[in-house]
Amino acid sequence: MSRKYFGTDGIRGRTNADKLTAELAMRVGQAAGAHFLRGDHRHRVVIGKDTRLSGYMMESALVAGFTSVGMDVVMTGPLPTPAIAMLARELRADLGVMISASHNPYEDNGIKLFGPDGYKLSDADEMVIETLMEQGVPLVDATEVGRARRIDDAPGRYIHAAKQSIPADVRFDALKVVLDCANGAAYQVAPAAIWELGAKLVTIGNAPNGTNINAGVGSTSLDAVKAKVVETGAHVGLALDGDADRLIVVDERGDTVDGDQLMALIATELQAAGQLRGGGVVATVMSNLGLERYLAGIGLALERTKVGDRYVLERMREGGFNLGGEQSGHMILADHATTGDGLVAALQILAALVRSGKQASELLHLFDTVPQLLRNVRYGGGAPLEAAGVKAAIASAEVELNGSGRLVIRPSGTEPVIRVMAEGDDAAQVERVVESICEAVRAAA
């Protein structure tokens, strides 16, 4: 059964257009609240948000929805997504909700849901919630309407938990760090945590105004952090995204270090300490073949899932892995978090730099990437991947690669876009096959 509202990472869209309105948010609150009214205890939901202008509207609508079905609401204000997952467990809540569209521009927003264990909801739970949204749910009697309150100490709780992910004797006094908070959810907590650990800190993207989240800053807009690293002579740059569940690193030369290289380093560190579980790393089909080859060279496996950190985490839990992530910068360290956590990942990288005494350009480039090309083709409607011309182009590309590379074609889970990726040892061949498929998709769209 196809899903109407939920994509690969919750519900996301342009505010007051598409599907994302206050009315929809209220229905999400009612449906999710009704679904998690289990047992006879007083039920509770934790709601956090990033710094988008529409966050106020979405928060109010969700509060109305949850309280109308009898759930109490705890609001935290702007906090990273992993902080809400953590607080859902710590506050013994029945649900956690993060209002964010991650790395998207401020005009978009989204709703991510976490269960009482701090993990993102399963596809089955999301389908039940969608059904309840369509059917409607009974509202409670006036005497049973939920209460809502804000808590002030949530940032400190998260900062403490993040710092606990590294040994107590590790300090960052020797490091000069540029931190880009994307004018997003981590604009207060990330600088505080890294400063408290002793780093000389240069912070950018930490002045949100409701409309500048991810605007020229953050993990998908690296020019600002690269320039600041070079300008200030910093040892390393750290770029978070709007809800701080992603991390991209910039070395002292201003070169990008993506999630694949970060996974390689963290896996190497954990293996050396005897702390890596599962015999390898879980990543998605988008991770570079170079990572797979590097891990194989040190006796570790790379298990791949479909795109989405929730699917990475599901496989990690099934197989007993404690490290997984995405090339885009989602880093899941299961010993410390139940979802991607950019700040926790950043602390691991800084700790590794301190321990090694090496420059970031040496420590964070453990393998040469195989030529990889990803292009996005926007379409107006229909199902381009079902077109005969597109199927023929894909088949032809697979024949041409002939086992020497990989081809990944998939529709986006959040927008009308077909993503076409290929990789192999011959860069010219990779570009040729990607363009041939893109042309076929454009013709069919």
Catalytic residues: 102
Cα dihedral sign for 377, 378, 379, 383? Answer: positive
Residues linked to residue 186 through DSSP beta bridges, in sequence order: none
Among 35, 15, 36, 31, residue whose Cα is nearest residue 100: 15
Among 45, 21, 20, residue whose Cα is nearest residue 97: 45
Q: How far apart are CA 120 and CA 95, in angstroms?
A: 10
Q: How far apart are CA 219 and CA 309, in angstroms?
A: 16
Among 137, 96, 53, residue whose Cα is nearest residue 339: 96
Q: How far, CA to CA in Å, does 149 sit from each of 37, 45, 152, 297?
A: 19, 11, 10, 53
Residue 371: DSSP 8-state = P
**Cβ neighbours, 10 Å, residue 3:** 13
**Residues 69 and 100: beta-carbon distance below 8 Å:** no
Residues in the chain: 445
Residue type, 408: V
**Residues 326 and 312: beta-carbon distance below 8 Å:** yes
Residues linked to residue 77 through DSSP beta bridges, in sequence order: 48
Q: How far apart are CA 445 and CA 392, in angstroms?
A: 15
Tokens of 43: 């039920």
10 Å CB burial of residue 277 (0-12, 13-18, 19+) is middle
**Residues 264 and 366: beta-carbon distance below 8 Å:** yes
Q: How far, CA to CA in Å, does 235 sit from each of 114, 228, 253, 358, 368?
A: 36, 11, 9, 10, 22
Q: How far apart are CA 336 and CA 345, in angstroms?
A: 10
Q: How far apart are CA 424 and CA 280, in angstroms?
A: 23
